[in-house]
Structure 1
Amino acid sequence: MFRVPFALILALASTAIFRVASARITDVVLFGDSYTDQSRAHSISNGTYPGKDYQEVYPPADTAADGGFQWPFYLGLYGNYTIWNYAVGGAVCSNALTPLLGVPDVAVGQQAWFVQDHVAHNGTRSQRLLLDPASFVVILFIGTNDVGINNFVTNDQPAAVSLPDVADCQLDALRALHALGARHFVVNSLIPLQLTGLYGGSSAPVIYYPAPPHNGTAWHREMTNLVQSLNRIVRDGVRALDAEWRAAGDGGSVQWFDTYGFFEEMYYHPAGFFNGSIPANVTGHCHQCPDPDDWRQCGIGDCTLEERDSYMWWDELHPSEQTGRNLAAEMHRKIEGKSKY
């Protein structure tokens, strides 16, 4: 097999490592929250805690937070990858930093699932990774709940916790997986949350925050600052960690995926991404909850099945299934070394 000299690898753009390795990538491992979770949060809430090799995908038994199939499902189709999805709706990077719902976080609970599935004889001298390090890539997509309601945007985070702490949590998660033997990583930035219905500037009550009244303008400004700040800190950390691992020469690399920029591209140029039966809609959302105090009414007034692919957002917080398809296609290009993001 052709091998690129190490000196040349250092000189190439960060996407190059996946261009070399993409032919060997057969599995994708994901950690995150409801933007990525396909069914684990529902399984936990239903009392069936996910066990070893849990791979349930919704639908048909239920739907994910985007109203249908999540983007990792489509990523698996586009790249013919086996998907190992450990994301949980409501998760944060660490429950010790920004506790929210207490579901398995990236730092502990989700990584424990990965170890259960893919690490033999954990904690012993004979510990070994069951996956070939050259054959899989880890994707981390976390932070929306860390900066969101009941944490930073509402000033409810613990007094001693700062954005750099949240960034360090993400980088430490990468280091822990690297120590287990993983070598290829992609870190997704936060999306422009200030474009969602929840943080877009309206003070109207919504299902995610029915009461008390809130200052939508203040939330919008604060969320813009939080997202930009955390993205900058994590991106700089990713670049430093990538340089550290490349210098070590053990095959480790980590790339930054500009999810923020990609979502802006969809938002400002929707015609190229949304193709339902009505004109593209990037400001409204498909899923309706007429009474913000009553979850039982959610679904009344939803867009039709034929209209769904026209919407960028499923509800006030979550991207639509069509947005997920777009993200999956671009992430596949990222793994192949062809994405500008």
Structure 2
Amino acid sequence: MMFLLSTLLGLVLNPAFIAGHITNVVLFGDSYTDQSRAHSIANGSFPGKDYQEVFPPADTAADGGVQWPWYLGLYGNYTIWNYAVGGAVCSNNLTPLSGEPDVAFGQTAWFIQDHIENYNTSQQRLLLDSSDFVVITFIGTNDVGIDSFVTFNESVNASLPDVADCQLNHLREMHALGARKFILNFLIPLQLTKLYSNSSAPTIYFPEVHDGNAWNQGMYNLVHSLNRILRDGIRVLNAEWAGDGTVEYFDTYGFFSEMYHNPTPFFNGSIPANVTGHCHQCPDPFNFTFCGIGDCTLAERDSYMWWDELHPSEQTGRNLAAEMFKKIEGKSQY
């Protein structure tokens, strides 16, 4: 009863996504959100062919198919502006994983290019209506992962609060550009993925024997710590803006935990729901050319929560899109 009451109070006290009609959704993030930009950068001249396509027919996302923003646009009849890039972090100055356009600079620059007229002049103008679009940021997986915090490869003097500040300052930058409605996604329970499980066996993303127990516990702590800092920071931002803008968090951790522990309503392929294995197989962790051998069938795909050792499946993305649509409408418990 107390949980239900707090949920209802949250809906009453946070009417921003109910009042007014959302027609555009702007997204920033990494491979959990990117449909085409990373591939376009790799396969064409920078920023690459098709880089503005939400769903280019010849491309697939890191989930093995169509990424969740496309489904969100379908469910809500939204125009989707997806600036996420696979391999991205919040700031390359903090956790320079692979140098892909980051949220703080590269991806924000794309938004400015598309939606800001006379940028950085006295005539600067936002071309979108601030009342009918919402900004969704979903970043941090690469910041805390391999070649970063979990393997102690972050930049010198970079801390977890710095990563949180990067995300919050990005929202401040978007607010300064005229955005007024925000959703900040928490990190998912990464310790449930094969990559960050307690197994020490090599994987395609880290083809070396490693201390799986240390990674698993370390990732659990990193994810919970960053999510807690972000939750507190969101309260600060809302107080700072004093009604001139609203940011809510989406409890991605809680939603993914629900799918993991109660999978049957979410996964409906031709075999029983599978939340511990993954569809896409790479039998030799030292050789990408063997990837795909032993994959689940097309009919089985919707039974899997995970596409590979790190990425959620397309079906998981559909579930996320449906719940995010409810969040934008003010009807999600997450």
TM over 0.5: yes
1:48 CA drift (Å)? 3.3
CA distance in 1, matches of 2:46, 2:69: 21
Q: Is the 8 A contact 1:53 1:117 kept in 2?
A: no
1:62 CA drift (Å)? 2.0
Matched residue SS, 1:271: coil
Residue equivalent to 2:301: 308
CA distance in 2, matches of 1:53, 1:69: 15
Residue equivalent to 2:260: 267
- Find the partner of 1:236 among 210, 228, 232: 232
Deviation by residue 1:45-86 (Cα, 9 ceiling, x = unmatched): 112323799432446312100000000000000000000000
Over the aligned positions, Cα root-mean-square deviation in angstroms equals 1.6
Matched residue SS, 2:95: coil
CA distance in 2, matches of 1:77, 1:198: 31
- Find the partner of 1:142 among 117, 136, 139: 139
The answer to whether structure 1 residue 294 and structure 2 residue 291 are counterparts is: no
CA distance in 2, matches of 1:12, 1:337: 6
Residue equivalent to 2:217: 221
CA distance in 1, matches of 2:10, 2:191: 36
CA distance in 2, matches of 1:165, 1:178: 20
CA distance in 2, matches of 1:130, 1:16: 24
Q: Which amino acid aligns with 1:267?
A: Y
Unaligned runs of 5+ in 1: 1-9
Deviation by residue 1:131-178 (Cα, 9 ceiling, x = unmatched): 000010000000000000000000111230100000000000000000
CA distance in 2, matches of 1:180, 1:284: 43
Q: Is the 8 A contact 1:276 1:308 kept in 2?
A: yes
CA distance in 2, matches of 1:335, 1:56: 23
1:219 CA drift (Å)? 0.2
The answer to whether structure 1 residue 111 and structure 2 residue 108 are counterparts is: yes
CA distance in 2, matches of 1:71, 1:119: 26
Q: Is the 8 A contact 1:52 1:113 kept in 2?
A: no
Report % sequence identity.
74
1:242 CA drift (Å)? 1.5
Taking the TM superposition and a 5 Å limit, the aligned residue runs for 1:94-109 are 94-109=91-106
Residue equivalent to 1:327: 320
Q: Is the 8 A contact 2:181 2:246 kept in 1?
A: yes
The answer to whether structure 1 residue 48 and structure 2 residue 45 are counterparts is: yes
The answer to whether structure 1 residue 192 and structure 2 residue 185 are counterparts is: no
The answer to whether structure 1 residue 208 and structure 2 residue 201 are counterparts is: no
CA distance in 2, matches of 1:55, 1:156: 32
CA distance in 2, matches of 1:164, 1:300: 41
Moved more, 110-119 or 235-244: 235-244
Matched residue SS, 2:136: strand
Unaligned runs of 5+ in 2: 1-8
1:11 CA drift (Å)? 8.7
Residue equivalent to 2:332: 339
Mark the CA change 1:195 to 1:11 in structure 2 (over 3 Å): closer, same or farther: closer
Mark the CA change 1:110 to 1:278 in structure 2 (over 3 Å): closer, same or farther: same
CA distance in 1, matches of 2:14, 2:60: 33
Matched residue SS, 1:191: coil
Mark the CA change 1:123 to 1:195 in structure 2 (over 3 Å): closer, same or farther: same
Q: Is the 8 A contact 2:54 2:81 kept in 1?
A: no
Q: Which amino acid aligns with 2:104?
A: A
Matched residue SS, 2:264: helix
Q: Is the 8 A contact 2:54 2:80 kept in 1?
A: no
CA distance in 1, matches of 2:270, 2:317: 18
Moved more, 49-58 or 68-77: 49-58
CA distance in 2, matches of 1:136, 1:205: 43
